[in-house]
Structure 1
Amino acid sequence: MKLYIALLAISLTTIVSCRKENETPKVIYETEKKTTEVNYQKIDSTEIKIADLPIKFSGTNYLLHPIGNVRVYNTGSSRSGSSKTNTQVSYKISNYSTPEITGFINNVMFQHKDSLELKPLTANRMEILSINYLDELALKTNKQFLVYTLVDVDTNKDGRYDDNDIKTLYISKINGTKFTKLTPDLHELIDWQVIDDKLYFRSVEDINKNGEFDSNDAIHYSFINLLSEDWKPEQYNPLK
């Protein structure tokens, strides 16, 4: 019995150790200097992409065509004792519930409703997680903007752009122009909200450069004036 307990303890220790070794930091820095510079990758033009049907926010003149990849899922058989896998293919890239689009979006093509011309949002590789139309601001000011939550760099260097990488905040006009990053490089977006004509957001900085975001890191509080021409973020401190 004692031998069994000892072997069990060794096994559990090995499992825990393996799990720790397999955990991937949110950020893997380029060099020992742990620079905060990032390199944005261009879109691979050889990849096969598909588009969802266009989406048009109420009161606007532009169609948004979400672009992404065909998603293939392998699911195990429900039959007992069978190792057979079933392959499921999804052609769905996005979900729309006004005023938000969510999904696994690599890019967006913008098209005026009275034109055949389409223009891409970006030339850089990205994974867009959400697109929000600021409809209340549009009603009050007639200014039409889109706010994006996305991944723009493979920060953990696993070859994928997904939720395991740093999420950032961007904004653009309703036609996709003036696409602007608001969060600093390598800052993880926490949340954001619009009050009147200002957009407030919080981000966390990995100040000890350990690759993880934890209680030892710094929270930054910022806002932009949405009616300003430059959308320059300004920091504020609500804890003073």
Structure 2
Amino acid sequence: MKGLLKIVSCSIFVLLMSCKKETEMPKVIYENPSKTAVQPKMDTTKIVVADLPVQMQGTNVLLFPVGDLNVAERNSKGGYDSSSAVNKQSFKISNYSENEITGYLRNVKFQQIGTDSIKTLTDKPVLIQSVTYLKTIADKTKQQILVYMLADMDTNKDNALDTNDIQSLYLSDISGTHFTKVSADFQEVIDWNVIESKCRLYFRTIEDANKNGAFDKNDIVHYHFIDLSGKDWKVSDYNLN
């Protein structure tokens, strides 16, 4: 019995240590300071599928979330069992709530209602975690804007683009054009919100000031806003110190 307890205790210790190592993975690795950005390569081994389209309220554009298929759910004959609830679930790559799409998306495609042409958001590798339609701004200014939280650089140089990399903030119009990065490279976006009365999007970022590869209390928080009443989406800084 004591031997069994020792084995269980050792297993728990190893598991906790592995979890600790995983959580301590640095977001940034500065092996080559001459490089200001690391562009990941497209993974051509993945099977890419699109979810059924989403139409944001009051718009005339269909959005098709695009992501990687869970190939582990393929059956032994190399096909897919349409009668399996598990296999059906594996085809779902995004979730939709009011004015927001979430998931782990590799791209988004757009189609204007009444046309046959489909536009792709970007030809660069990205991992999109959320796409939010600013309906309140559209109601106020008639500008239909999408906000994206995504990873666009392999900042920890593990040859994968995932949630362990720095999250950036992008904007585009409702049709996917003017896809623009508004946060600085190597600064992690903490959060963002919209103040409707001022037609502004406010967001905070944190900079790894001491270059230790992690974001902690010794780093610098930056404060920004964007005037959404115009079309240039200029980022302005403000100071609360």
Using structure 2 for the length normalisation, give the TM-score: 0.81
User: C-alpha distance in 1, partners of 2:130/2:34?
Assistant: 28
Aligned length: 217
Deviation of 1:46 (Å): 6.3
Residue 181 of structure 1, CA deviation: 0.5
Measured against aligned partners, the alpha-carbon deviations of 1:110-160 in whole angstroms (never above 9, x if no partner) come to 100111100100011011000000001111111100000011112112222
TM-align CA RMSD:
2.7
**Aligned-partner SS, 2:138:** helix
Structure 1 counterpart of 2:65, which letter?
P
> Match of 1:27?
28
Would the alpha carbon gap of residues 48 and 141 (structure 1) be closer, same or farther in structure 2, given more than 3 Å must change? same
Counterpart Cα distance in 1 of 2:103 and 2:150: 10
1 CA distance for matches of 2:209 and 2:91?
A: 40
- Which segment is superposed worse, 119-128 or 16-25? 16-25
**Corresponding residue of 1:79:** none
* TM superposition shift of 1:20: 6.8
User: Contact conserved, 2:40 with 2:159, CA < 8 A, in 1?
Assistant: no
Contact 1:103 1:129 in 2 (8 A): yes
* Structure 1 Cα separation of the partners of residues 30 and 42 of structure 2: 22
Name the structure 1 match of 2:149: 149
In the alignment, which of 211, 214, 221 is matched to residue 212 of structure 1? 214
Q: 1:12-60 deviations in whole A, cap 9, x for unaligned? A: 9x968877766421111242xx357103346456643100000000110
CA contact (8 A) 1:36 1:186 kept: no
Residue matched to 2:58: 59
Partner of 1:186: 186
Is contact 2:46-2:69 (8 Å) kept?
no
Distance 1:207 1:134 in 2: 32
Unaligned runs of 5+ in 2: 1-9, 74-85
Report 1:1-240 matches (<5 A).
23-31=24-32, 34=33, 37-41=36-40, 43-44=42-43, 47-72=46-71, 89=87, 90-196=90-196, 197-239=199-241
For the structure 1 residues 115 and 152, does the alpha-carbon distance in structure 2 shift closer, same or farther, using more than 3 Å as the test?
Answer: same
**1-side partners of 2:146 and 2:208: how far apart?**
28
User: Bigger CA drift: 34-43 or 216-225?
Assistant: 34-43
Distance 1:229 1:175 in 2: 14
TM-score (norm 1): 0.81
Change (3 A) 1:238 1:104: same
Query: What is the percentage of aligned positions where both structures have the same residue?
Result: 49
Detail structure 1 runs of 4+ shifted over 6 Å in the superposition: 16-22
**Alpha-carbon distance in structure 1 between the residues aligned to 2:19 and 2:45:** 36
What amino acid does structure 1 have at the position aligned with 2:209?
A: I
Q: Work out the CA distance in 2 between the residues paired with 1:55 and 1:169.
A: 21
SS state at 1:40 partner: coil
Deviates more, 1:43-52 or 1:137-146: 43-52
Please give the secondary structure, in 2, of the residue aligned with 1:106: strand
